[in-house]
A = this chain, B = another copy of it.
Amino acid sequence: MQALLLIAHGSRRAESNDEVRTLTEDLKTRAGASYSIVRCAFLELAEPSIPDGIELCVKDGATEVVVLPYFLSAGRHVVTDIPNEVRGKQEEYPQVNIRIASYLGANAGIPDLLLASASVPA
């Protein structure tokens, strides 16, 4: 059973965290049969943490967890912090295949999405 765990930075603004939770619900709807479990977790400032998010996926029955960084650049959070948070849980659950996916900003579709956003008023 495959789980998708969307990782956001987390914000002091509750609305920003709720925006991530709403997006996660949307992902769940679109994921169809690809991911039986779709959850989100936060690097800091909001709950659940990344280890807690992985734990919830495992408790849901996940045998594979795809950790998906909702980040635009390959900064310290993507390169170091997220892998560090994942490592402990991988050691705790060696039978679960935890894989970190490419961060959103690396997606080749970003430029076209930006050009589309440019036509939409704030």
Find the B residue at minimum CB distance from A26: B111
With both chains docked as a complex, state the minimum distance between the C-beta of A7 and any C-beta of chain B, in angstroms: 11
Which of the listed residues A8, A30, A120 has the most CB atoms from chain B within 10 Å of its own CB?
A: A120
Decide if A92 is an interface residue (CB 8 Å cutoff): no
B13:A75 contact, CB within 8 angstroms: yes
Residues of A within 8 A of B (CB): 4, 6, 8, 11, 13, 15-16, 19-20, 23, 26-27, 30-31, 34-35, 66, 68-76, 78, 99-107, 109-122
24 contacts across the A-B interface (CB closer than 8 A): A6-B114, A8-B72, A11-B73, A11-B75, A19-B74, A19-B105, A23-B114, A31-B115, A68-B114, A68-B118, A70-B72, A70-B114, A71-B72, A72-B104, A78-B122, A100-B122, A101-B117, A101-B119, A102-B120, A102-B121, A102-B122, A107-B116, A107-B117, A109-B109
Beyond A69-B122, A104-B117, A109-B109, 16 additional contacts (C-beta under 8 Å) are A6-B114, A8-B72, A16-B74, A19-B73, A34-B115, A68-B117, A70-B72, A70-B114, A101-B117, A101-B118, A101-B121, A101-B122, A102-B120, A103-B122, A106-B117, A107-B113
